[in-house]
Amino acid sequence: MSLDSRGEKARVFFALWPDAANAARLHAIAQQWHRSLGGRVTREDTLHATLVFIGDIALDRLQSLLDLAEGIQTPSFDIDFDAGGCWKHNRIAYLGMRQLPEALQNLHFELAARVGAAGFEIEKRPFSPHITLIRKAACGNATTENPINKNPAEPVTWTVRDFVLVKSSIGANGSRYEQIGRWPLLEDKPTS
């Protein structure tokens, strides 16, 4: 696993990453919403849900994040992104979930506890898993006619079998995300 040692700091976070088919479905929803919400649609290859946000850290501390993720014993679980929304305060249109699966909550808490125990400052805001579909969205245009408010939204469902550590950097074309670690969850059911 190679880590960039040229810069001094990196912005990092643990995340769930959709497979290609689900990324395509999410992107299609984003494009549909974009017609009424405008803004900037998230690139298909960067769609994700943040599990634990860490933020800017010194590069020499990356290894401890890679180490602490080893040995997480959460079983794989199904996830339903079934609730659209648009936050006016940061103009993010997102797909979230009406029900937080217990396994996802456990995975978040386990990871956050390890991150905190390793001496990193962790995000104090309540865990609110979501996939950002559009930034700079005109949330005021999300009327009842808009698919964003259909309840339930067309769910995007997948079996979470792993999680990743992502390093982000700002480039000319927006954020660039690099997966620097991937860890499998425990398989307790046959693959579908």
Interface with ligand 2AM, residue 50, by CB under 6 A: yes
Interface with ligand 2AM, residue 92, by CB under 6 A: yes
Helix (H/G/I), strand (E/B), else coil: 178: strand
In whole angstroms, how far apart are CA 54 and each of 34, 143, 166, 176, 177?
A: 29, 35, 10, 17, 14
Contacts of ligand 2AM in 153-172 (CB under 6 A):
168
Q: Token pair for residue 178? A: 């690099």
Q: Closer to ligand 2AM at the Cβ: 53 or 158?
A: 53
Burial class (CB in 10 A: 0-12, 13-18, 19+), 22: middle
Interface with ligand 2AM, residue 53, by CB under 6 A: yes
DSSP 74: P
Of 39, 110, 132, 180, the residue at the interface with ligand 2AM (CB under 6 A) is 132
In the complex, the smallest distance separating the C-beta of residue 188 from ligand 2AM, rounded to whole angstroms, is 27
Helix (H/G/I), strand (E/B), else coil: 82: coil
Interface with ligand 2AM, residue 13, by CB under 6 A: yes
Interface with ligand 2AM, residue 123, by CB under 6 A: yes
Q: Closer to ligand 2AM at the Cβ: 74 or 132?
A: 132
Largest CA distance in the chain: 50
Q: Which residues bind ligand 2AM (CB under 6 A)?
A: 13, 50, 53, 92, 123, 125, 132, 168
